[in-house]
Structure 1
């Protein structure tokens, strides 16, 4: 399966028929990007819940769901009526628990250029000392697993003679000691994407690559319900995984096709279209 869908990830019919093993995604942050402006806070939370209910339903038992999420700052431009910061990650964590998912890991991405998504923080003369908001120069990655056991039952097993079992992995599924030492640290120091001319909220390909190598094996299906410019799919292809994704914006869908086709050096990506049924057409995530 290598498939990208022009559709709405809130709609169950937009999802591939074959279940996936890992989701790596970065939902809209509700920080004032042009594609977020038409949404209220309540609609934004419902969007997240609808999408991740579908994601869980289409994930194999023991499969992982890695979500790069940002909280909402108090008095931000897009949410001026909100008088306190809101931990979106916690709200989503409660929802994931309701969907029979358990938190496995929490990672902090320490950003080198945090100003891009920090419209609520700026200096002007006369800022009172009692009204200073700090710059959120980090983002969260919350990693969940589906079900009661993080070990996937679909992986091949070999008996070792003592009644115990070992999971079998190929050489390409192993992680070097050097990478392991860097990646198991809970804080990842990683450069932001230097230019977002084609998409206003890209995340680094290295960010997706690490998560894919940590939480999947060769041949697994890696999914992104907010495909954007296709970063997750490109990273998945480059490390020997299959990919699937959904993007609602036709412009970004075309951009993702271009980026992925450049990565695979062939114009062979499966394409399909599932029109949104219940949601406003002028609200594009």
Structure 2
């Protein structure tokens, strides 16, 4: 980012690693992950032009491992496979006070773990030796890193995607909600910006331009990249917070979605990506897109 001309970027749009264990972030600690976000945001103080915007698509960490978290105990009575109740165990123990839990289990026709759980209420999610997880909010970190550099939280929108059922099966034994939305934090670097109502149609302004909640289906197949966001999401942000001919930056380019949306909407782009396989993926997608949409050669140098 430090090689980019200072004050040249009108909009930076990116979705960083979410610290949820993807292959490209498996070696990150929570501290190193925060340092990564902090450093990238700090660099925006240099590359953003006055009045420019920084849009970050990110979600809170829903399963943040915490060694100090008390063991979560949940008795899912609708999902019990064994009909032995606590009352039945207590009655059997009263009748046979010298029986241990193995003998009680044989008597009642269940496992000794069931006896232990019914007596002590230790239905611990993930097992008694599993580190428990909690929700970790991340927006306040972004706000602080940006504000320390003189970039201010201007707006926040919510992207409602289709429920991620496949990734949320663990909710079946909790009262937690299914993951079905992500946040869009919009930051502004002080300076004048232009409001042009002609950038969108009247219907577009009504349907999403002035709305705080965006309903956009997530990418159906992440077969070539683990965490793609939909082109429609990038297109809306680019059209709303930049103008034709502007320079758009994505410092976590991934599969190249931001660059494709920028190209289609008449913007220039810079994409940065550390994983070589994703660099090639983005280049190939851009070559195909440019050929289909613009019929012009693309200089990937």
Structure 2 equivalent of residue 23 of structure 1:
12
Displacement, 1:53?
1.1
Structure 1 equivalent of residue 177 of structure 2:
134
Structure 1 residues 89-100: aligned runs within 5 Å: 89-100=139-150
Work out whether residues 163 and 178 of structure 2, in 8 Å CA contact, stay in contact via their aligned partners in 1.
no
Structure 1 equivalent of residue 123 of structure 2:
none
Structure index of larger Rg = 2
Higher relative contact order (CA 8 A, sep 6+): 1
Structure 1 residues 140-151: aligned runs within 5 Å: 140-147=183-190, 149=191, 151=192
Q: Of Structure 1 and Structure 2, which has the larger fraction of its residues in helix? A: 2
- The reply on whether 1:182 has 2:207 as its aligned counterpart is yes
The 1:136–1:239 alpha-carbon spacing in structure 2 relative to 1, beyond 3 Å, is same
Structure 2 equivalent of residue 121 of structure 1:
170
Name the TM-score, length of structure 1 as normaliser. 0.75
Structure 1 equivalent of residue 84 of structure 2:
none
- The reply on whether 1:110 has 2:136 as its aligned counterpart is no
Displacement, 1:66?
0.6
* Whole-Å separation in 1 of the counterparts to 2:220 and 2:169: 21
- The reply on whether 1:59 has 2:108 as its aligned counterpart is no
- The reply on whether 1:202 has 2:232 as its aligned counterpart is no
Work out whether residues 106 and 186 of structure 1, in 8 Å CA contact, stay in contact via their aligned partners in 2.
yes
Displacement, 1:18?
6.9
SS at match of 2:258: helix
C-alpha RMSD over aligned residues: 2.5
* Whole-Å separation in 2 of the counterparts to 1:29 and 1:119: 16
SS at match of 1:259: helix
SS at match of 1:247: coil
Q: Of Structure 1 and Structure 2, which has the larger fraction of its residues in strand? A: 1
